[in-house]
Chains A and B, each alone.
Chain A
């Protein structure tokens, strides 16, 4: 059923339909509306979950870790500083192979303090072993939650996942969203049945320490599971499409890509602005296209290289920066295209909520065509 609703409310509703048994969360802007909505659902009997009002984000994810190990489907949401506070737990959850789902309402990291959007927070956890999905709009943001649980809980995967959507730009924006019915959600996402759990009837030890004789193999297996999750993502996205008409089988998605000479690579809500700009540029005769990355971890290198095969210039929009190097997405794209001879230019854009407009995308295209890149877009030189 199509509803016009705020992004956070739509996500909260999708989470409710996923039937988490334990929710642990801590307020932080711009994520708070989601967990407020979930608290209200629990208070009114619309969500049968235990809701733990923890004293920090660190404890939110730690409580989810315990609940997941005990066999419950668990959920949390956070952003920015909250996610940074969870850093240690994030690595732990992935290492212990617990399929926790967490929504990230992407926001910049301080200092300086900023409550506004970029993707530095989740990108900074790229090495932690979590799957990372990025949504372009609120329909995709809601749908990705069902898919994330399906993939994460797949016994061949058993890894946690972030569903990332841009703070404020999506979280606080009203858009029409087609919500599943509970029956449909249940059909797609069956009850969680963990293969291992803390259980007095069958005692096992979780989270033991590993000497140098074993640690390397643990890391190898986790990396292997994350890489092999690609086929599970494809299957879960395809099945979602067959059931509900919205296909998410592809980890990268092209727009006007067929004959494109200049291809913009981007993640998240910025893709909407890019598409509008491409429509204008196409009318002006410019062969410009977009490759949207929906899944950043595991990184779809092969799909990306295939999709970009015909490009003359690749312009990557990075709403993050690995300070002292480049944007994280560009580094991955360069790796995927290594040896192809296709030039990849990086543009750091929209950090800390700086508005990204069509003129900025036009500037990027013009720079890429001239072979200029690896720079910030929209710098206010007068304040430098």
Chain B
């Protein structure tokens, strides 16, 4: 069992107040414990946690490049195996590093079956460079490279289904989690770390700066993503969905209206067709994963 009182991600780092990713790192280390080696990709977390000569990491930590964290982790795991060492190798990388630029390296590492845990903190855009769209950016989100305008409602594509792609590599354990449900998140990371082979956990980590909300709303917004069905928390063991977080679903508008990145759907004019399209994404998620709790009729 994880020691939930341990703090291996130190205070004093440079993340924004209300940063979902910083919380993900802190929870991740509670689950993984001291016998871990962490590999970070380039990105917000790497920058806010390690401005030389300071580091927030109380476990051994390495950053090399944006796109090679899983290849670096492969080498570390291989080296530990040769030395007879038993540390757990954990990658933590943003969605840009995971869904886009690091795709080749992740695919290689998972196909080769290295005993590593890959954690993606998914804040749904390139936040470190100033909020550009990634393969994880949701439909209609306005970013600096998918701006809403007179001819555009923002990002034109839905999120890439990264968990399923990695499950298709034969990963024995794949899960999604949210910082809004810390106990569930810790349990999933514990499970991932203790499963032999390449495992993947994708954590929904709202970004107050990039999404446009006050830092004290991070948890509430993360929770709304789950409650509207736009983010589904589930587990896959050997490619089969084994556990899903069920909810009494709320309309997607309740989530969308909390963030500036979706403001163009409400102002200056309400965009009913677009809101319906996003509601359809949530409905499809609900059907695919069976997340709806059916309330008994009075």
Q: What residues make up the interface of A, taking CB atoms closer than 8 Å to B?
A: 21-22, 24, 48-50, 52-56, 58-59, 62-72, 74, 88-89, 92, 96, 198-200, 202-211, 214
Contact = CB atoms under 8 A, between A and B. Distances in A.
A276 B115 CA distance: 55
Contacts of B71: 54, 58-59, 62-63, 66
B82 A208 contact: no
A59 B74 contact: yes
Q: Which of A48, A59, A64, A65 is most buried by chain B, counting CB atoms within 10 A of its CB?
A: A59
B121 to A, nearest CB: 18
B47 interface: yes
Contacts of B52: 208-211, 214
Nearest to A70: B79
B79 A21 contact: yes
Interface of B: 34-37, 39, 46-47, 50-53, 55, 57-65, 67-68, 71-83, 87, 104-105, 107-108, 111-112
B122 to A, nearest CB: 22
A62 B73 CA distance: 9
A50 B81 CA distance: 8
Given A21-B82, A63-B71, A63-B75, A52 B35 contact: no
Contacts of A204: 60-61
Contact of B111 (A55, A70, A72, A198): A55
A207 B62 contact: yes
Given A63-B71, A204-B60, A211 B51 contact: yes
Nearest to A217: B52
Given A22-B79, A59-B105, A209-B50, 8 more contacts: A21-B83, A50-B82, A54-B74, A65-B68, A65-B72, A205-B57, A208-B51, A214-B52
Given A58-B68, A63-B71, A209 B51 contact: yes
A65 B61 CA distance: 13
A209 B46 contact: yes
A205 B82 CA distance: 22
Contact of B72 (A22, A63, A199, A202): A63
A68 to B, nearest CB: 8
Contacts of B64: 62, 65-66, 89, 92, 96, 207
Contacts of B83: 21, 70-72
Nearest to A51: B78
A93 to B, nearest CB: 9
Contacts of A58: 67-68, 71, 104-105
A203 B58 contact: yes
B74 A88 contact: no
17 contacts: A53-B112, A55-B108, A58-B67, A59-B68, A59-B71, A59-B74, A59-B104, A59-B108, A63-B78, A66-B73, A66-B74, A66-B77, A70-B75, A205-B57, A208-B50, A208-B53, A211-B52
A209 B63 CA distance: 9
A49 B82 contact: yes
Contact of B61 (A21, A68, A205, A210): A205
Contacts of B51: 208-209, 211
The 7 tightest CB contacts between A and B, nearest first, are A66-B75, A55-B108, A62-B71, A63-B75, A67-B75, A66-B72, A70-B79
A14 to B, nearest CB: 20
Contacts of B76: 66-67, 69-70, 198
Contacts of B81: 50
A214 B47 contact: no
Given A49-B82, A198-B76, A209 B65 contact: no
Contacts of B59: 200, 203
Contacts of B107: 55
Contacts of B108: 54-56, 59
A62 B105 contact: yes
Nearest to B57: A205
A150 B73 CA distance: 26
A69 B77 CA distance: 11
Given A62-B65, A69-B62, A208-B63, A198 B74 contact: no
Nearest to B39: A66
B96 to A, nearest CB: 16
A198 B65 contact: no
A95 to B, nearest CB: 10
Residue among A68, A88, A203, A205 facing the most chain B CB atoms (10 A cut-off): A205
A27 to B, nearest CB: 14
A248 B101 CA distance: 43
Contacts of A67: 75-76, 78-79
Contacts of A59: 68, 71, 74, 104-105, 108
Nearest to B47: A209
